[in-house]
């Protein structure tokens, strides 16, 4: 298998700082001047420039003043200034838009033309035919040896695929689940997710297995969010393989996935449904590539993002974090309708994907408890530098939701919980 390598066009921060600073006269460099600067605005403008967008003369002057003030404050304390690392404390989401969002599994009306329910039309469970097929696939998950053959002392690998939030949450899940006496000793939990590797990045690294023309679409998508690359990163699928080896298991033993994926700066990809369609395409790509790498893969559980209403950067605020749940639903609906690229049934042709169902739904509207379980998020569940990535409490919340799902879901518990497979025979 050929895995292409990263070939980034990296914009030098130092040159940008110099460029901006020579555009204006020296700005005040006192601590008082630094305190009077609107640094959240300066950071937004800086990121705009990083994306290749043109700043007006006034904006260039403003950023230069901000950097000069920050530099003076930093030098007074010792150290260097970097406007890109100035932490904003102001949420970027519109509070009125956030307040109107309803968890998808509680939505009884519509959202921008889309019905409620995880599976659509108000349903939070799969249609009967898809549910039966999922249960059948789950029954075929069994301990396998390193070569993928059934073995009493074999392993069942549950692998994660995703970006930074995913690996932060799944690493905590692994600790929690491995300490749970109810987990089957055959189950090996492997965190294959990797920071900064979004859906497009995972797709691009496996482009050899995708339809013609997909590579250029993916490169264009990354360019829209400010990542100018010519080839893949080369560290997603190979990184997951290294994690499998480090855990003493093989690709032939991977039988279930937890996929929690997103696209960075979705606002740059277009308003709903445009950005969500990009993620939908990435998920289909990932499922196809995963099936190539893991020939015994049976099931993929999908989860969408956690709450983004306190986010202070454009990485993934609301309503984008909420709207990405529709990407997952569209993938499942396409599989139900018989999309060839999502075929899991050998009786219908070449198998190109595992069967896909929802895993735990992680979104709640901030501190408003969900009706179904009272689940909620707190502002301090998120790290202070961007209020997007999960802090320790958020990681544990996701770990608990995922563990609870795997121990109670009719298909998952059969292979995940100790003794369940034998009891089901």
Q: Does residue 271 surpass a pLDDT of 70?
A: yes
Q: Does residue 37 surpass a pLDDT of 70?
A: no
Cα(309)–Cα(92) distance, rounded to whole angstroms?
Answer: 8
- Rounded alpha-carbon distances, angstroms, from residue 3 to 6, 147, 285: 10, 23, 15
Cα(40)–Cα(102) distance, rounded to whole angstroms?
Answer: 28
Cα(208)–Cα(181) distance, rounded to whole angstroms?
Answer: 41
User: Is 234 domain-assigned?
Assistant: yes
* CA dihedral for 254, 259, 264, 267, sign (positive or negative): positive
Q: Which of 82, 4, 92 is nearest to 388 (CA)?
A: 92
Whether 206 and 175 have beta carbons less than 8 Å apart is answered as no
Who wins on pLDDT, 275 or 70?
275
Cα(40)–Cα(88) distance, rounded to whole angstroms?
Answer: 5
Range of the domain at 19: 13-85
Band (pLDDT 50/70/90 cuts) for residue 78 is low
Who wins on pLDDT, 50 or 38?
38
**Which residue matches tokens 């050998």?**
346
Return mean pLDDT, the chain: 88
Q: Does residue 323 surpass a pLDDT of 80?
A: yes
Q: What is the pLDDT of residue 5?
A: 38
Mind listing the pLDDT tens digit for each residue in 108-164? 999 999 999 999 999 999 999 999 999 999 999 999 999 999 999 999 999 999 999
User: Is 6 domain-assigned?
Assistant: no
Domains held by the chain: number: 2
Q: Do 373 and 267 share a structural domain?
A: yes
- Six-digit token pair at 425? 């025979």
Q: In this prediction, what percent of the chain has a pLDDT beyond 90?
A: 76
User: Is 137 domain-assigned?
Assistant: yes
Q: What count of other Cβ atoms lies within 10 Å of the Cβ of residue 417?
A: 18
Cα(210)–Cα(266) distance, rounded to whole angstroms?
Answer: 23
Q: Do 307 and 341 share a structural domain?
A: yes
Q: Do 168 and 249 share a structural domain?
A: yes
Q: What is the pLDDT of residue 219?
A: 94
User: Is 347 domain-assigned?
Assistant: yes
Band (pLDDT 50/70/90 cuts) for residue 77 is low
Q: Does residue 287 surpass a pLDDT of 80?
A: yes
Q: What is the pLDDT of residue 76?
A: 62
The verdict on whether omega for the bond into residue 319 sits within 30 degrees of 0, i.e. cis, is yes
Band (pLDDT 50/70/90 cuts) for residue 75 is low
135 Cβ contact partners less than 8 Å away, ≥ 6 residues apart = 410, 411
Q: Does residue 35 surpass a pLDDT of 60?
A: no
User: Is 1 domain-assigned?
Assistant: no
Whether 324 and 276 have beta carbons less than 8 Å apart is answered as yes
């Amino acid at each position: 298998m050929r895995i292409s390598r990263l070939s980034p066009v990296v914009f030098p921060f130092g040159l940008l700082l110099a460029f901006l600073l020579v555009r204006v006269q020296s700005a005040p460099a006192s601590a008082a001047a630094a305190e009077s600067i609107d640094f959240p605005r300066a950071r937004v403008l800086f990121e705009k420039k990083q994306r290749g967008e043109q700043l007006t003369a006034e904006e260039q002057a403003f950023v230069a003043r901000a950097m000069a003030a920050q530099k003076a404050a930093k030098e007074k304390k010792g150290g260097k200034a970097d406007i890109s690392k100035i932490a904003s404390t102001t949420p970027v989401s519109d509070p009125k838009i956030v307040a109107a969002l309803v968890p998808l599994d509680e939505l009884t009306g519509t959202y921008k033309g889309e019905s409620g329910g995880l599976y659509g039309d108000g349903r939070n469970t799969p249609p009967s035919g898809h549910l039966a097929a999922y249960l059948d696939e789950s029954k075929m998950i069994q301990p396998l040896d390193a070569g993928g053959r059934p073995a009493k002392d074999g392993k069942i690998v549950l692998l994660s695929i995703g970006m930074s939030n995913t690996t932060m949450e799944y690493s905590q899940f692994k600790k929690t689940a491995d300490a749970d006496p109810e987990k089957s000793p055959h189950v090996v939990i492997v965190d294959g997710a990797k920071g900064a590797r979004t859906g497009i990045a995972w797709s691009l690294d496996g482009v050899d297995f995708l339809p013609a023309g997909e590579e250029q679409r993916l490169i264009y998508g990354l360019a829209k969010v400010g990542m100018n690359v010519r080839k893949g990163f080369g560290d997603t699928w190979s990184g997951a393989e290294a994690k499998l080896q480090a855990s003493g298991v093989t690709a032939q033993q991977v039988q279930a996935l937890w996929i929690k994926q997103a696209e960075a700066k979705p606002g740059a990809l277009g308003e709903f449904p445009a950005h969500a369609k990009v993620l939908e395409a990435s998920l289909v790509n990932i499922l196809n590539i995963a099936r190539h790498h893991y020939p015994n893969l049976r099931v993929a559980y999908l989860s969408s993002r956690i709450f983004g209403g306190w986010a202070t950067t454009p990485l993934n605020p609301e309503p984008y974090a909420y709207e990405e749940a529709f990407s997952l639903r569209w993938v499942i609906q396409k599989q139900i309708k018989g999309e060839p690229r999502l075929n899991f049934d050998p009786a219908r042709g070449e198998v190109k994907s595992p069967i896909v169902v929802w895993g735990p739904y992680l979104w709640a509207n901030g501190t408003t408890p969900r009706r179904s379980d009272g689940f909620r998020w707190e502002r301090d569940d998120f790290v202070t530098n961007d209020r997007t990535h999960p802090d320790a409490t958020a990681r544990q919340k996701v770990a608990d939701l995922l563990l609870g799902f795997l121990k109670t879901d009719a298909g998952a518990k059969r292979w995940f919980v100790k003794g369940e497979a034998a009891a089901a025979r």
